[in-house]
Amino acid sequence: MLDRFIPMMVLCIAPFSALAGPDEKFSVQGSVLFYDTEAASVRGDREVANDDIDVMKRHLRDTPGVRTVKLNSTGGSVWAGNEMARIVMDFDLSTVVDGECSSSCVTIFLAGRTRTMTRGSKMGFHQRSWSSSAIESYYDRWREDENWADPFEFASWVYQDTQTETFKDLTYMISRGVEPEFAIETKRYRSGTWFPTRSELIDAGVLRD
């Protein structure tokens, strides 16, 4: 009896498991593609992730009538955010914040042809961080491939890479019409997330109709 029950239980669970993952974050209603990382059932998946890139492309290719991406996310992968921003620009889409859009979500948002934010929503900026344990793991993983002789050579690379990434971020923001003074302000060190007011975002060119 038990032998027959277990396969049936697996069959019942499988369809729900198949729905988990990046697809949970996306939905299409008319001409709007919703990207809500908080919709993921697994807490650890509630962020901008590399797997989301292909899912976004699939939805946009399968639904050519989409004209807007509506965002709700506290951020996640920097690389994924950059790639999804490239896709938004390539499809010439508008972007809307509905809830919160922080960190790498802002990168996606700034790719919009027009950029708006629903009343009561917010947009957050914060400095990137890298924990000591993650730095150690990265060094151990890549030291041979990158020919770092010791942690000091690695630290020198981190210093250069940080400046390169900061320059790229500032260049991207300014190229999207953000005022340079505001773009620089987002790089100020803060212990938490900075949520500018709506008027500040409008004046800075972050929001634009």
- CA within 13 Å, CB half, 94: 13
Express each pLDDT in 91-144 by its tens digit. Answer: 999 999 999 999 999 999 999 999 999 999 999 999 887 889 999 999 999 999
Q: Alpha-carbon distance 57 to 66, whole Å?
A: 12
The SS3 of residue 151 is: helix
For the chain, the domain total comes to 2
- Cα radius of gyration rounded to whole Å, the chain: 20
Q: Which domain holds residue 93?
A: 22-124+192-209
Q: Is residue 17 assigned to a domain?
A: no
CATH number at residue 201: 3.90.226.10
Q: Tokens for 111, please give them.
A: 């790719």
pLDDT, residue 20, reads 55
H helix or E strand, kind and range, residue 56: helix 51-62
Express each pLDDT in 77-88 by its tens digit. Answer: 999 999 999 999
| Same structural domain, 34 and 100 | yes
Predicted TM-score (pTM) of the model is 0.86
Express each pLDDT in 138-176 by its tens digit. Answer: 999 999 999 999 999 999 999 999 999 999 999 999 999
Q: Alpha-carbon distance 208 to 156, whole Å?
A: 39
Express each pLDDT in 11-51 by its tens digit. Answer: 344 444 344 567 999 999 999 999 999 999 999 899 999 99
